[in-house]
Amino acid sequence: MVKIVYSDKLGRTIRQDDLSTLGLSSQTLTEEALRSGRYENAIELVTYFHQEMRIMHGILMTWIKDLFRQMLTRGQFQGDIPATVMAIARAFETVPLGVAPREQTIQAIRVGDVEAAVDWLDRMRLEFKNPHEILVPWVHDLLTNLAETYGEEEVLHSITETVDQIWGPRYATWDQMTPEEKLQLTVEGMRGGHFSGPQRRGDVQLADEGDRYRIAFDPCGSGGVMRRGDPETGRAPYPTTGLNTHPHLWTWQKTGVHWYCTHCCITMEFLPGRRRGHPMRPLDHTLDHSAPCVWYIYKDETQTREYHYPRTGLERKSVTSDEWPVRSLLWSNGLD
């Protein structure tokens, strides 16, 4: 059952469905509500779907701007840093993505024109998806630039510089959340945020494995699509040489990892593992671009399965939640 509920921990609404619907695209659920005549439910879903997409667009823009700031402060460009960064990114933040089609969707719903509402709803998705397909490889290319200019370790330093602006705030209340709330927040980001799944609508595969929730993206809508190509349009994989050539603990000790994908290891395993004694949300990363990307939410993170530890150089240890401040939930340079 679809439930859009206000979360005090997040300070906003979020879908709090059970596993039977949580992994389904908000777009698809809106269409189902429309065709069942549940118009008020459909309007609620339209509004939430827009929020879902807007949140991830904002995250990607924050990342882009911080990468440009880093390049500027490292001396790659001259001039006024804040003004230069804002000028580069301004259009992506100024255009009111999805607002007009959102209102057109709601208007069509109110007059009972289901087919027009379905059409406008897809236009709303595409207003976010199309720039998303540029922003993800843009982040990747900026990380590649840093690696090629300053060395591979610079990617680790770059992402740790950005932690407090993106992942720190997003997961600030992670340790106050139930496992189900952690799952809901995680799925939201990859559903309407990154347009995962074969139709690029945000469909995610979920399973309860007893001690953990398994989340699979086939493909992941960000790094996965960049590596595999877009199943919706037939676009080929993004052509890039931006792969690590040396194994690092923050690349699962692998080579050939796309620079964009390293942030999953760094922010969810490598950094929090060193601060907290266990990974926050480990992955089963694979270099097989045709395979699903699989993440886990452990119901008791202190009982994370042993195989997650050695690949990022972690050792299991007991750390209680009052031993790290909110800012340090993810923050650690991993080198001290």
Cα dihedral 78, 79, 82, 86 sign? negative
Domain contains 336: no
**pLDDT tens, N- to C-terminus, the chain (336 residues):** 899 999 999 999 999 999 999 999 999 999 999 999 999 999 999 999 999 999 999 999 999 999 988 988 887 655 666 677 777 778 888 889 999 999 999 999 999 999 999 999 999 999 999 999 999 999 999 999 999 999 999 999 999 999 999 999 999 999 999 999 999 999 999 999 999 999 999 999 999 999 999 999 999 999 999 999 999 999 999 999 999 999 999 999 999 999 999 999 999 999 999 988 999 999 999 999 999 999 999 999 999 999 999 999 998 865 544 444 434 444 444 444
What is the Cα–Cα distance from 35 to 147, expressed in whole angstroms?
50
Where does 192-298 have alpha helices with state H?
A: 223-228, 262-265, 271-276
Note down the domain range covering 143.
4-328
- Looking at the structure of the chain, the number of domains it has is 1
Domain contains 199: yes
Domain contains 210: yes
Cβ atoms within 10 A of the Cβ of 214, count? 14
Domain contains 333: no
pTM of the predicted structure, to 2 decimals: 0.92
Domain contains 36: yes
